[in-house]
Amino acid sequence: MAATKQDTLGRLRETRVWQSVFRSGWGDSNLHRALAVQQNLFLHLFPAKMRRRSLDIGVTWYLGTLTLVAFFILVATGIPLMLYYHPSVPQAYADMKDLQFVVSAGVFLRNLHRWAAHAMVLLVFAHMARVFYRGAYRPPREFNWVVGVVLLLVTLFLSYTGYLLPWDQLAFWAITVGSNILSSVPVMGLKIRFLMLGGNTVNANALLRFYVLHCVILPLAAVAFIGVHFWRIRKDGGLYRDGHAAARAAESGEQRHG
């Protein structure tokens, strides 16, 4: 039975379709493993080799990965939610009601999106605290810390823009208060608020702007910076180094070569 399975797989690997997708060939040599990672768009963010130790839960608590999982859940639930939602003043709240009362699994979708959003904000903060207390922001990772801060802001803006979309009292007043806080920025506060809301009060324009920000601009920005973030982890020497190696590397400037 086992032999047959091997044969079937073997024949499959010889097909032209398989070879056009997995171009690096099959084998468990270092070369094959490295090629498998490098030649794949999704896997090439990962190092071809890493220390087993760095996968221990105690090293990272998986906080970055969990954040990424929360982001995937948000994308996966957000897209179906977009199918039921109109960013217009008369319709937005009614759409919430439809999700609640008639859409199949509408409540589940909406709640999952909401809780995943809360979880993502929490995880991002926890991740940042872990990085800070472990000193993982130190050179050579200082640039990735900055990218992380940008991602933190993107996450918070995603959360804030999503808050308005249900178009209920809570949403309206939260955004009103938030935008008023923004307007106290010296000199150009009112201009910033006008730009953000598309007017002086929270209204149809603000709803549309927040919708576009929430569903297009900020998710694209998040994806781009997440890519940079992961790529930098690899370039900065992976998730884990022992202290001495890191110190040596810092001294010799070796880390530049990753």
Partner 1 sequence: MRKKIGEGYRALFGDSPRAFGTLGVLLLACLAVVPAKDHFREWSGYQSGYLKYIANRGDAATLKRRFEGGIHQDWLPELGVVDRCGTCHVALKEAVLAGTGPQPFRGHPVIPHNLERYGCVLCHGGQGVATTVEEAHRSSKAWEQPILPARYVEAGCGQCHQNTMTGTPELNQGRTLLAEYGCVRCHTVNVPGGGRMAASDHPPSLEHIAGKTTREWMYAWLKNPQAYAVSATMPNFQLSDDDARDITAFLVAQSTALEVAQGPAETGAAAAESGEGSSLYGESFCASCHAMQNAAGLLVGGNVGPELTRVGTKVKPEWLKAWLWNPGQWSPTTVMPHYRFDGKQIGLLARYLGSQTDSDFLAKVSLPPATAEQVAHGKKLVNERGCGSCHEMNGVKKPDNFAPDLSNVGSRSLEKIVFAPGVQEDLPSYLAAKIQHPHRFGPATKMPQFSLTAPQVDALVTALLAETDRAAGLPAALRVPGKVESDYQPAGPAGKLIADLRCFSCHAFNGRGGDMAPDLSIEGSAVQRGWLVSFLKNPNTLRPALIRRMPRFNLTDGEAQTLADYILTVYQTPAFEAGPLSAAGFTADQREHGRQLFYSKYACQACHIVDPKNDKGYVGPTLTQAGTRLNAAWIVHYLKDPQKMRPGNLEPNQHISDEDARDLAAFLMAQTKGGAQEARK
Binding site for partner 1 (CB under 8 A): 90, 94, 97-98, 100-102, 104-105, 108, 168-169
Nearest residue (CB) to partner 1, 109 versus 218? 109
- Cβ count near 107 (within 10 Å): 12
The pair of three-digit structure tokens given for residue 111, joined into one six-digit string: 């709640």
- Cβ count near 109 (within 10 Å): 20
Nearest residue (CB) to partner 1, 20 versus 169? 169
Nearest residue (CB) to partner 1, 39 versus 100? 100
Task: Write down the least CB distance from residue 102 to partner 1, Å.
Answer: 6
Task: Write down the least CB distance from residue 24 to partner 1, Å.
Answer: 24
CB 7 within 8 Å of CB 21: no
Nearest residue (CB) to partner 1, 39 versus 203? 203
Distance of CA 132 to CAs 127, 129, 137, Å?
A: 8, 5, 6
Task: Write down the least CB distance from residue 96 to partner 1, Å.
Answer: 8
Nearest residue (CB) to partner 1, 96 versus 218? 96
DSSP letter at 198?
A: T
Task: Write down the least CB distance from residue 2 to partner 1, Å.
Answer: 17
CA gap 68, 225 in Å, rounded? 12
Task: Write down the least CB distance from residue 173 to partner 1, Å.
Answer: 12
Nearest residue (CB) to partner 1, 77 versus 155? 77
Count of CA atoms in the C-beta half-sphere (13 A) of 218: 24
Question: Phi then psi for 229, rounded to 5 degrees?
Answer: -60, -50
Amino acid at 6: Q
Continuous segment of H or E residues that includes residue 197? helix 189-197
Task: Write down the least CB distance from residue 100 to partner 1, Å.
Answer: 8
